[in-house]
Chains A and B, each alone.
Chain A
């Protein structure tokens, strides 16, 4: 069970069917937590199934030397979720993209979300409800960065955006999170 993703892919391609099963078990919960925040609990299982079917169909094309499986499968998950939202005519990740994407910022103020405000969202339900109100493009950065502990570079690959844009999104996401917490506490 401790084999790396890449080892499991190699094993699967050499004929060990159970290796892909392990990958499914490993990524079901992370993908569910990413997808559920955009499509809701009822639709998430079907989309996850589509994500795994797409990854199974394209596993031969996956280049172990060029990218990590986690980044690859999250890219598939994002694209599948975007397609679903587009079909349902819901707000997609990129629908809020604008010229301000090129705006580059660095988080100089580490206390942008002070401890007092963080303590307000220690309740799980409170965080999930707050996240529901955040713009999708900011929410995906927050989920990938804090929940999946991905780097800005990895997130940039998934979002197909430059690293500085991802950093900018992250900064704005924290600002929006703060605004929402303050607004809900009033």
Chain B
């Protein structure tokens, strides 16, 4: 009975229009293209914004480094290696104290966001969906 019913059901199959699967694929392709375009522009936008913000943040970091005496410690490291090798622990802790941590974290975060978003935007723009 089971096989007979299977046979009957197979015979009673409705045939969809031959273009149906093609039409569905075209709709999905269009949606995919639109989604890729939006994503690539979003990544590009984030990349540009992070780059714009990076300029004043880097300049602020450089200012803070010069004000804190970081460069003086750095020049000492190259000019008087003998003293530094004797008092290296004190030297390292003094150098670390001069680093403007908040600004440095902000700059590195922005740099990271810029690199990631630029990479993704580049991949998206290279995608065949956008170049078709």
The answer to the question of A49 belonging to the interface, with a C-beta cut-off of 8 Å to chain B, is: yes
Query: Which A residues are in CB contact (< 8 Å) with B13?
Result: 29, 33, 147
- Per the bound structure, the CA–CA distance linking A172 and B2 in Å amounts to 15
The answer to the question of A110 belonging to the interface, with a C-beta cut-off of 8 Å to chain B, is: yes
Q: Are A121 and B8 in contact (CB under 8 A)?
A: yes
The answer to the question of A180 belonging to the interface, with a C-beta cut-off of 8 Å to chain B, is: no
Chain A's closest residue to B31 (CB) is: A53
The answer to the question of B128 belonging to the interface, with a C-beta cut-off of 8 Å to chain A, is: yes
Q: Are B20 and A146 in contact (CB under 8 A)?
A: no
Query: Which A residues are in CB contact (< 8 Å) with B10?
Result: 147
- Within the complex, the shortest CB–CB distance from B76 to chain A, in Å, comes to 53
- Within the complex, the shortest CB–CB distance from B25 to chain A, in Å, comes to 5
- Per the bound structure, the CA–CA distance linking A114 and B16 in Å amounts to 32
The answer to the question of B87 belonging to the interface, with a C-beta cut-off of 8 Å to chain A, is: no
Q: Given that A21-B25, A112-B1, A118-B5 are known contacts, is A32 also in contact with B20, CB under 8 Å in the complex?
A: yes
Interface residues of B in 1-22 (CB under 8 A from A): 1-2, 4-6, 8-17, 20-21
- Per the bound structure, the CA–CA distance linking A118 and B3 in Å amounts to 11
Partner of A53, one of B9, B14, B17, B27: B27
- Per the bound structure, the CA–CA distance linking A124 and B9 in Å amounts to 8
Q: Are A17 and B129 in contact (CB under 8 A)?
A: yes
Chain A's closest residue to B27 (CB) is: A49
Partner of A146, one of B5, B21, B31, B128: B5
Query: Which B residues are in CB contact (< 8 Å) with A100?
Result: none
Q: Are B1 and A147 in contact (CB under 8 A)?
A: no
Chain B's closest residue to A127 (CB) is: B12
Partner of B128, one of A17, A32, A33, A45: A17
The answer to the question of B24 belonging to the interface, with a C-beta cut-off of 8 Å to chain A, is: yes
Query: Which A residues are in CB contact (< 8 Å) with B14?
Result: 32-33, 36, 41, 128
Interface size on B, as a range, is 20 to 34
Chain B's closest residue to A109 (CB) is: B1
Query: Which A residues are in CB contact (< 8 Å) with B48?
Result: none
Query: Which A residues are in CB contact (< 8 Å) with B24?
Result: 24, 28, 48-49, 52
Partner of B28, one of A52, A111, A149: A52
- Within the complex, the shortest CB–CB distance from A74 to chain B, in Å, comes to 15
Interface string of A4-26 (1 = CB under 8 A from B): 00000000000001001100110
- Within the complex, the shortest CB–CB distance from B120 to chain A, in Å, comes to 14
- Per the bound structure, the CA–CA distance linking A50 and B18 in Å amounts to 18
Interface string of A122-164 (1 = CB under 8 A from B): 1010011001000000000011001101000000000000000
Interface residues of A in 22-76 (CB under 8 A from B): 24-25, 28-29, 32-33, 36, 41, 44-45, 48-49, 52-53, 56
Q: Which residues of A contact B (CB under 8 A)?
A: 17, 20-21, 24-25, 28-29, 32-33, 36, 41, 44-45, 48-49, 52-53, 56, 110-115, 118, 121-122, 124, 127-128, 131, 142-143, 146-147, 149
A-B contact pairs, 10 of them (CB 8 A): A17-B32, A20-B28, A24-B24, A33-B14, A48-B16, A115-B1, A118-B4, A122-B8, A127-B8, A147-B13
